[in-house]
Amino acid sequence: KNQVEQSPQSLIILEGKNCTLQCNYTVSPFSNLRWYKQDTGRGPVSLTIMTFSENTKSNGRYTATLDADTKQSSLHITASQLSDSASYICVVDSGNTGKLIFGQGTTLQVKP
Amino acid sequence: NAGVTQTPKFQVLKTGQSMTLQCAQDMNHEYMSWYRQDPGMGLRLIHYSVGAGITDQGEVPNGYNVSRSTTEDFPLRLLSAAPSQTSVYFCASSHGVDTQYFGPGTRLTVL
């Protein structure tokens, strides 16, 4: 069964600290992997998209990595800010039909 | 560009009522999708469309209908609302496998 598992489920860090969120997937075939940020009460917003051949991709303070061999991805947030408090969702695209498989998300809370 | 717009933002229905959730995009995207998001679960695909006149079922299509008569609009119809359809509904659009843009969501409660 195609699945996307994220860990941890929730995380609390202090402002200015770094953190890493994990994503494991069992989706096949694989087209690309995406990370989204979803603020409370809003729709998800795309952070990064990585294809099979890409190992890392950055978007400002967000850096995503992909290991297609082990089917693992991580999202690293550097120098966290209060505005980083949100849910971070890992999504795997299994092909070109528009069907995306979403993880449950990691809820990050950044405290001052 | 307004991006992806959804109406209404909030809706309360009684069991058995029908309604249509509206979704529109002004980015000329061919791909449009409807998702529902429930607490503790990832977004689940209800229906999607790869272009005007073409629709297909996603993971949880039962109880919902869609149509795509224009590139811009992709309405979702609830045929006979049930409490299990209480959820937050998101519409999204994209150009191929590029970045997907989501609307602000519709919060639906079925009593």
Read off the tokens for B69.
């008569």
Closest chain A C-alpha to B18 CA, distance in angstroms:
24
DSSP A83: G
Residues 29-48 of B with CB under 8 A from A: 31, 33, 35, 40-45, 48
Q: Do the beta carbons of residue A65 and residue A73 sit within 8 Å?
A: yes
Residue A62 near residue A47, CB atoms below 8 Å: yes
Segment B6-60, tens digit of pLDDT: 999 999 999 999 999 999 999 999 999 999 999 878 899 999 999 999 999 988 9
**Spatial distance between the Cα atoms of A30 and A26, rounded to a whole number of angstroms:** 9
Inter-residue contact A88 to A75 (CB < 8 Å): yes
| Listed residue (A4, A17, A27) closest to A85, CA to CA | A17
Read off the pLDDT of residues A77-91 as tens digits, 9 standing for 90 and up.
999 999 999 999 999
Indicate the length of chain A as a whole number.
112
Q: Nearest CB to A31: which of B42, B90, B97?
A: B97
Residues of B in contact with A4 (CB under 8 A): 42
Nearest to A72, CA basis, from A97, A55, A95, A47: A55
Residue B40: CA count within 13 A, CB half-sphere: 0
A24-81 pLDDT, tens digit each: 999 888 889 999 999 998 999 999 999 988 999 999 999 999 999 999 999 999 999 9
